[in-house]
Amino acid sequence: MLCRLRKVIRGRLLLYCRVISGNLQKKHSFLAIRFWALYNKPVRNMGRGTIIVQSEYIIEMLNIRKEFPGIVANDNITLQLRPGEIHALLGENGAGKSTLMSVLFGLYQPEAGEIRKNGQVVKINSPNDATALHIGMVHQHFKLVDVFTVLDNIILGAEDTKMGFLQRGVARKKVQELSEKYKLYVDLDAKVEDITVGMQQRTEILKMLYRDNEILIFDEPTAVLTPQEIDELMEIMRGFAKEGKSILFITHKLNEIMAVADRCTVLRKGKYIGTVNIKDTNKQELSNMMVGRPVQLQVQKDEAKPGDVILDVKGLTVHSKTSKKNAVHDVSFQVRAGEIVCIAGIDGNGQTELVYGLTGLEKPSAGHITLCGHDISKASIHKRSQTGLSHIPEDRHKHGLVLDDTLENNLVLQSFQEPRFQKFGFIKRDAVRAYAEKIIGQYDVRSGQGPVTITRSMSGGNQQKAIIGREIDRGCPLLIAVQPTRGLDVGAIEYIHAQLVAQRDAGKAVLLVSLELDEVMNVADRILVMYEGEIVGELNPKTTTVQELGLYMSGAKRSGKGGAQA
């Protein structure tokens, strides 16, 4: 009797929800979805002949089509997620992965197709609707307010109040418990604008966990995490799956897919290629499906032939914005022409501040920097650039691009004053257009409207390729590349690594800063390890091991104060 009554009530509510969602104003659909999420639970066997009505999939995205000016981002894509499953979504940069997840999260509305939860069609008009359906998302490009604290960002939109007053203490306790449980340690009182990219990523993950979602979308969550943090996140995901949560996991890292995913769906150029069981496939097959051709997963390079000193750093010290200690303390090293020197270390150990000091984004408190024989210790950013420094920044949005300008203008940000691009103060638009088309073609930068595309509308990977193409093409004696392959697919990574090696072989000096151990070991000619703002060791990638590198990165081993100098 109770089962029949429950079915009648649920049927009436579902009918009511559909009427509201279909016929009234959009603002009422949120209330309807609240009712739907509350009562539309899968019917399990309750005994005494109960009919079981339960969908095999908790989420189904069927025949989704999403268009933008000049491009079809999703072309008839179907994705099905099972309860308690970790489902990887793999594809090249610009394949439509983030767009598809943005449709599921209510940020975009599809031109065609439908979304079902537990077999029932739902309409997701906004992230509020997605949250009501217990769908959460960690975005590739962080959705954080820079001037707010970490705690304020986490609870924003989901505040606990009592008699109109914010219960900050209750919220802080919950966030601290989540932080301890999942080892996602952050300074809750720090402003987002003052913390590293890695800390911002942790904030995004905590923001989703705070809302107790059961369908979790991770869009490139490990792009800025250290190897240890990635392993911890993989364990967290496995724990989520055991708890019955379902995970959609966008990544370009094949090792992560093989380690944690149950199934993988592959997209290419906005189209569905296939879905495979991870136990029945391998990395090479996945990369071939993604790119459409065989991919060389190992870096091919000859022995380095170091020449003259290009960059000479002596006793560099940079203050920390978030503590009284120095972020970089008495660091000295050299980078020579014809070699790739890699700065390795766990995120937050001074690498960001070191790069800021070298490029002029921060003013060092002590030390000397010499570039091509010129003292640039107090030089402006523009002067350092003119002296021969190219910089691929860690944060492409903050320091690499003008997001609301066109792609072609972004590609000449540092060179528009050159005679080839201007005459008597007027920009040569045809020359800029031709140059932009050359970089777009050479680095496979995909965008809806080519050179005139607004940069903000491009995928993160294609934004990164645009920056890399711009900086490498300048041909400066020194290239500082900070996480250059972050967010890129294996095909693009293969090409970028080849370009870094080509720069080295052309006699350029390359300073690579990376958190990817595979990249450090395969690309570098020398490795300098940073720990707590100091260089604690210099290693040869041919004679060291990942385990030994990890000991230096954790501070368990060091070669002496200041490390070794070339």
Q: Per-residue pLDDT tens for 471-516?
A: 999 999 999 999 998 777 788 888 889 899 999 999 999 999 998 8
What does pLDDT average to over the chain? Answer: 85
User: In terms of pLDDT, which residue wins out, 410 or 300?
Assistant: 410
Buried/exposed code over 364-398 (b: 16+ C-beta within 10 A; e: otherwise): beebebbbbeeebbebeeeebbebbbbbbbbbbee
> Which amino acid is present at 210?
Y
Which contiguous run of DSSP H or E holds residue 409?
A: helix 407-410
CA-to-CA dists, residue 85 to 107, 250, 257, angstroms = 24, 14, 13
Residue 430 three-state SS: helix
178 pLDDT above the threshold of 70: yes
427 pLDDT above the threshold of 90: yes
76 pLDDT above the threshold of 50: yes
Across 91-95, 174-178, 392-396, least confident range: 91-95
152 close to 206: Cβ distance less than 8 angstroms:
no
Please identify which residue in the block is written with the tokens 């100098």.
565
pLDDT band at 455 (very low <50, low <70, confident <90, very high): very high
pLDDT band at 43 (very low <50, low <70, confident <90, very high): very low
**What's the pLDDT score for residue 224?**
62
Q: Is the dihedral of CA 439, 445, 446, 448 positive or negative?
A: negative
Give dist(CA 308, CA 338) in Å, integer.
Answer: 9
563 pLDDT above the threshold of 90: no
**What's the pLDDT score for residue 65?**
96
229 pLDDT above the threshold of 80: no
28 pLDDT above the threshold of 70: no
**What's the pLDDT score for residue 54?**
59
Across 197-201, 387-391, 543-547, least confident range: 197-201
Burial bucket for residue 551 (CB in 10 Å: 0-12, 13-18, 19+): middle
Which contiguous run of DSSP H or E holds residue 263?
A: strand 263-268
**What's the pLDDT score for residue 226?**
61
**What's the pLDDT score for residue 320?**
87
**What's the pLDDT score for residue 299?**
81
HSE at residue 394, side-chain half, CA atoms within 13 A, is 22
